[in-house]
Amino acid sequence: MDILITGGEGQLGKNLKKKLSECHSVHSLGKGELDITNKEQADFVISNIKPHIIIHAAAFTAVDKCETEMKKAYEVNSIGTGYIAQAGKKVNAKIFYISTDYVFEGTKRFPYCEKDNPIPISVYGMSKWLGEKLVLTYSDATVIRTSWLYGHYGKNFVKTMLDLGNRNKIIKVVNDQTGSPTYVNDLTDTIIQLLDKKSGIYHVSNSGSCTWYEFAKAIFEKAGYDPKRIFPVSTQEYGAHAKRPCYSVLDNQSLLKEGIKPLRNWNEALAEFIRKETKS
C-alpha cells in the first residue's frame, strides 16, 4: 500500500515513517518537498504519487505564535489542509488528519467525547478545527484528535524538562491545566490500527490525566532529578499569550467500538520513553 505522510520532519511524521516503512511503501515529505499551502504543488505531488492513504500530520503547532502569526496559522492548519483534502479526493485517497484537544474550550470536568461540540478559545484551536471541517467535507476522512504529544524526535515538553533537570534552576510549571500526555509511539501504533477502520472522528491519547505541573514532577522523578525544584503556578501567573483549555482530557472509548484497545496509562508510557531516551 502506498502511504503519503505530510509533516514528515515532525516528531509524529518521523515515527510514522519508521513504523509504516516496515510493511508499506511510504512517501514522507517535509515542507521542502511539499508546501501544503501551495495548492498547485499539493495537486502535483499527490497526483503523481497517487497514495492509497494520506496521513496529514503537517501543522503549525506553536500555540502562542499562532496568536501573533494568525495568517500563517490559518494558511497551514486550515487552508493547507483543505488543499491536501481536495487533492486526495481526486486520487481517491483515504485521509487521516491529526488534530488536537485544543479544539475544546475546557469547561467540562469529565473527558470530551467525539460528539462534543468543539469551541476553540485560541487561534491554534480554531485553525485546527476549521482544518477538521474541511477534511470531513472533501474526503473519505478520519480525524484523530490527540493531546500533549511527546516523542524521541524534535522538541517537546518532556525533552525540555529533561534538559532543565541537568541545570540547577527553579522551574515554574502551570498547575491549572489538565490533560493527557501522549507518547508518539503509542499514538503511531493506534493510527496504524485505524488505517482499515471506518472513517470518522477518533480521540487517541494515553489514558489517565494530570496537570502540566504533575507531569513535570513525574518526569523528574522517573529521570532521577529532584522534583522539589519544580513549583506550581497558575496560568495567569505564567502569562502565556494564547488561551489554553483548563481541562482537555479526551474520551478514548470509540476505539473500543472498532476493536482497538485504548492506550495505556500516561505514567507507564512516560516511564518507557525515559528509559529509551536515557539509553540513547
List residues with catalytic annotation.
124
Count of Cβ atoms closer than 10 Å to residue 11 Cβ: 21
Q: Give the number of C-alpha atoms closer than 13 A to the C-alpha of residue 142, restricted to the C-beta side.
A: 23
Tell me which residue of 65, 153, 61, 53 sits closest to 100, measured CA to CA.
61
Q: Can you tell me whether residue 252 is helix, strand or coil? A: coil
User: Residue 29: enclosing H or E segment and its boundaries?
Assistant: strand 25-29
Tell me which residue of 96, 108, 15 sits closest to 52, measured CA to CA.
96
Rounded Cα gap, residues 161 and 29, in angstroms: 29
Rounded Cα gap, residues 51 and 64, in angstroms: 34
Tell me which residue of 54, 44, 59 sits closest to 20, measured CA to CA.
54
Count of Cβ atoms closer than 10 Å to residue 40 Cβ: 10
Rounded Cα gap, residues 248 and 280, in angstroms: 32
Q: Provide Rg for the chain, Cα atoms.
A: 18
Distance from the first to the final alpha carbon of the chain: 32
Rounded Cα gap, residues 52 and 26, in angstroms: 11
